[in-house]
Amino acid sequence: MARIRTIEPGTQSIRAHSSEVDCFYNLVDDEAGARLVHLSTFGSDHRKSSPKSSQSIQLDQQMAERLIAVLLESFPAIGASIQAPIAEPLLPIAPSSGSTLIYDQLSRELGPT
């Protein structure tokens, strides 16, 4: 759980993950007034305990720009389909393809919107 300082190519031996998680974002300002994007992921549907934030990261504008560059380099086709930035999510947020256990539990805890 930290603020991203650099985004560089890695050398780890990795493979695709077999599980999926939900991710929520918030906007927050740091002590100097700079805007940060805060991303929190929640445990997979198979998590034994109730949903809670598993990992979180924060990006300032410079790191957000770097991440966008990496994404556009990795997935060039999305460059043509980019729409206006999302200011705030439309409420209520619904899962795109059916409910997940995490989504359902968080919805109950957060209550109706």
> Using CA atoms, how far apart are residues 24 and 56, in angstroms rounded to an integer?
9
Is residue 102 packed enough to be buried (19+ CB in 10 Å), middle (13-18) or exposed (0-12)?
Answer: buried
Radius of gyration of the chain (CA): 16
Q: Are 26 and 88 in contact (CB under 8 A)?
A: no
pTM for this model (two decimals)? 0.65
The conformation of residue 96, written as its DSSP 8-state character, comes to B
Q: What CATH number has the domain spanning 19-76+88-110? A: 3.10.450
Q: What is the pLDDT of residue 10?
A: 95
Below-70 pLDDT ranges, the chain: 44-52, 83-103, 105-113
Per-residue pLDDT, 79: 79
Kindly list the domain boundaries of the chain, sorted by start residue.
19-76+88-110
